[in-house]
């Protein structure tokens, strides 16, 4: 007899990918995005590495995924992970009803096939940070779902979020408020063609994909490296990309380049189990 699969069977964690806070519809135009609501993206992590910052995403009680290039050279004592964050400077302009959690990191797990490349997007640009003390999930701190089944990305709109620059001209400073934006996922062919039109040679591999508007009006930017690109599937948010690289920022025909989590989800899952 055919047993109907419970929706939760598809997702390993029943609480993953489901914000408890009320969702506001995404408005148009983290360059050209909008400020997130409190607890709207409860899996978003803010990673501070000495004087640098990167994004990250909570995938289990004690594991945060980010870009390998963010943390590869970092010393463990220099890495802090903030969960449940909205305003990184706590200026008090916005009500944050629940406190942020600051976590120390006891281990960094870089993907075995990660390869730093000076002038091109890094290969397998994904790494995991193991928190010293696991977080207990709460209204503003929840994990994202990992893809458990093949998802066609081309033509889908991805959600990106981070504390990077909101204007291309901001220099190295980011924004203190979490920003969110939507970006369409484009074909590798279009990505290469767009870059060629700007006289940029880009080498892309199967573990990468590109996303961005042809006019560049919404884009992940400096400081958003390591942050998640998520899509909604079967009523839940699923992690499909990690912000990896981009030539320029919020520039027309220069889309962001993302690590494709579908290529490494199995490895991430194995690491979660091993380090639980």
Catalytic, out of 125, 195, 224, 244: 125
Predicted confidence band of residue 3 (pLDDT cuts 50, 70, 90): very low
On the question of pLDDT at 64 being above 90, the answer is: yes
Structural domains in the chain, sorted by start: 42-143+264-275 (2.40.10.10), 156-262 (2.40.10.10)
Averaged over 23-45, what is the pLDDT?
Answer: 69
* Average pLDDT of the segment spanning 87-99: 79
Of residues 175 and 149, more confidence is placed in 149
Q: Residue 27: what pLDDT?
A: 36
Q: Which is the catalytic residue, given 225, 244, 253, 259? A: 225
Mean pLDDT for all residues in the chain:
84
- Predicted TM-score (pTM) of the model is 0.89
Q: Can you tell me the mean pLDDT for 55-80?
A: 96
140 a catalytic residue: no
Report how far residue 126's alpha carbon sits from residue 114's, in angstroms, rounded to the nearest whole number: 7
Residue 269, SS3 per DSSP: helix
pLDDT confidence of residue 123? 95
Catalytic residue among 46, 60, 69, 259: 69
Q: Would you state the pLDDT for residue 252?
A: 63
Contacts 24+ apart (CB under 8 A), 229-235: 229/158, 229/159, 229/160, 229/183, 229/258, 230/17, 230/144, 230/158, 230/159, 231/151, 231/153, 231/156, 231/157, 231/158, 231/159, 232/159, 233/151, 234/7, 234/10, 235/7, 235/18
Mean pLDDT value of segment 38-62: 92
Would you say residue 187 has pLDDT above 80? yes
Q: Can you tell me the mean pLDDT for 151-158?
A: 94
Has 125 been annotated as catalytic?
yes
172 is a catalytic site residue: no
Instruction: Please say if the pLDDT value at position 89 is more than 90.
Output: no
pLDDT(28) > 60: no
Question: pLDDT band for position 37 (50/70/90)?
Answer: confident
Q: Average the pLDDT over 79-102 and give the result.
A: 86
Residue 5: band (very low, low, confident or very high) from pLDDT cuts 50, 70, 90:
very low
The pLDDT tens digits of the residues spanning 111-136 come to 999 999 988 889 999 999 999 999 99
pLDDT of residue 223: 44
- Report the distance separating Cα 24 and Cα 27, nearest Å: 9
Residue with tokens 């909101």, as numbered in its chain: 166
pLDDT given for residue 276 in this prediction: 86
Q: pLDDT tens across 236-250, in order?
A: 999 999 999 876 665
């Amino acid at each position: 007899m055919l047993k109907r699969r419970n929706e939760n069977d598809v997702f390993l964690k029943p609480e993953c990918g489901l914000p408890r806070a009320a969702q506001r519809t995404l408005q148009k135009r983290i360059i050209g995005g909008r400020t997130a609501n409190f607890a709207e993206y409860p899996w978003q992590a803010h990673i501070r590495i000495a004087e640098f910052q990167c994004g990250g995403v909570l995938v289990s009680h004690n594991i945060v995924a980010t870009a390998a290039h963010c943390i590869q050279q970092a010393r463990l004592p220099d890495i802090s992970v903030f969960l449940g964050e909205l305003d990184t400077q706590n200026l008090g302009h916005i009500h944050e009803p629940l406190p942020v959690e600051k976590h120390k990191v006891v281990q960094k797990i870089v993907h075995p096939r990660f390869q730093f490349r000076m002038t091109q997007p890094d290969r397998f640009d994904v790494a995991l940070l193991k928190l010293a003390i696991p977080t207990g999930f709460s209204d503003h701190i929840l994990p994202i779902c990992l893809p458990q089944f093949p998802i066609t990305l081309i033509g889908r709109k991805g959600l990106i979020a981070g504390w990077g620059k909101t204007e291309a001209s901001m220099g190295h400073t980011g924004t203190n408020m979490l920003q969110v934006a939507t970006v369409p996922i484009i074909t590798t062919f279009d990505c290469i063609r767009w870059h060629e039109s700007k006289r940029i040679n880009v080498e892309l591999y199967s573990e990468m994909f590109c996303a961005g508007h042809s006019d560049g009006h919404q884009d992940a930017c400096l400081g958003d490296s390591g942050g998640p690109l998520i899509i909604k599937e079967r009523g839940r948010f699923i992690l499909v990309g990690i912000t990896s690289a981009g030539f320029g920022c919020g520039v027309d025909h220069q889309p962001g380049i993302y690590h494709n989590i579908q290529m490494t989800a199995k490895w991430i899952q194995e690491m979660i189990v091993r380090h639980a």
